[in-house]
Structure formats: C-alpha cells, structure tokens
C-alpha cells in the first residue's frame, strides 16, 4: 500500500487522525485512543502471553498498546497503586494522551 493509501486507510477506514508534522506519519492520540508504551523486551512477551490485549504496534525498541481514550491519565495512579510510584520513566513506561502521537505502522 502506497504511503498516501496507508494514511487514507487510517483516516477513512478507522477514523483516526494522521499527522505528518515531521514528514513521517504518526497517529494522533487523545481523540480515538490513547497509547501506553513500554520497552519491546517487556512488551513482546506480554503480547505473546496475552493474545487479546487489543491493538498494538512496535516502533524500534518500543511497543505501544492502544487503549481507550482518556486512559493515559490513569497511568500515574496505576503505578502508584502497584507500589511503583514514579518508576515509570526509569522502567521505560509511559503514556500518550491528548495532543500526543505514536508512529503509524503500515496497515
């Protein structure tokens, strides 16, 4: 699928906003979904063990889990509840919500 065709697929078929701000396609978070990211060394085994996690993508050393819109704001509270406090950045965990972007893989 050509680059423009891929972008059209995201926008027309899924209704997701695509941003080409830096020349490479990114999906805009906080509109239809948010994203949680974690290192691929942890994310790939998670996906292998939990086959119904929902949409996910890999971009280099990172796995992105697409989650319900508004969920990114819950990550700090979840880490606190787990007793991990502010370890998110140290563990390579993060979230992208309103105004964020994730790499758009080829459909």
Cβ contacts of 51 within 8 Å, gap of 6 or more: none
The per-residue pLDDT for 96 is 93
Domain that holds residue 64: 3-103
| Counted domains in the chain | 1
Which whole-number Å values give the CA distances from 2 to 5, 80, 107, in the listed order?
5, 43, 10
* pLDDT, average across residues 75-103: 86
- Reading the block at residue 7, the tokens are 């972008």
Q: Model-level pTM?
A: 0.83
The per-residue pLDDT for 82 is 82
The per-residue pLDDT for 97 is 95
The percent of residues above 90 in pLDDT, for the chain, comes to 38
Q: Which residues pair with 68 in a beta bridge?
A: 33
More confident of the two residues 18 and 87: 18
pLDDT, tens digit, 9 for 90 and up, residues 14-63: 999 998 877 788 999 999 999 999 999 988 998 888 767 788 999 999 99
């Amino acid at each position: 699928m050509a680059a423009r065709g891929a972008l059209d697929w995201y926008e027309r078929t899924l209704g997701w906003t695509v941003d080409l701000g830096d020349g490479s396609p990114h999906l805009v978070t906080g509109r239809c979904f948010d994203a949680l990211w974690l290192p691929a060394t942890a994310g790939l085994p998670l996906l292998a063990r939990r086959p119904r996690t929902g949409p996910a993508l890999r971009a280099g050393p990172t796995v992105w889990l697409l989650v319900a819109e508004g969920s990114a704001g819950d990550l700090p509270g979840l880490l606190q509840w787990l007793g991990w406090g502010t370890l998110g950045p140290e563990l390579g965990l993060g979230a992208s919500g309103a105004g964020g972007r994730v790499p758009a893989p080829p459909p």
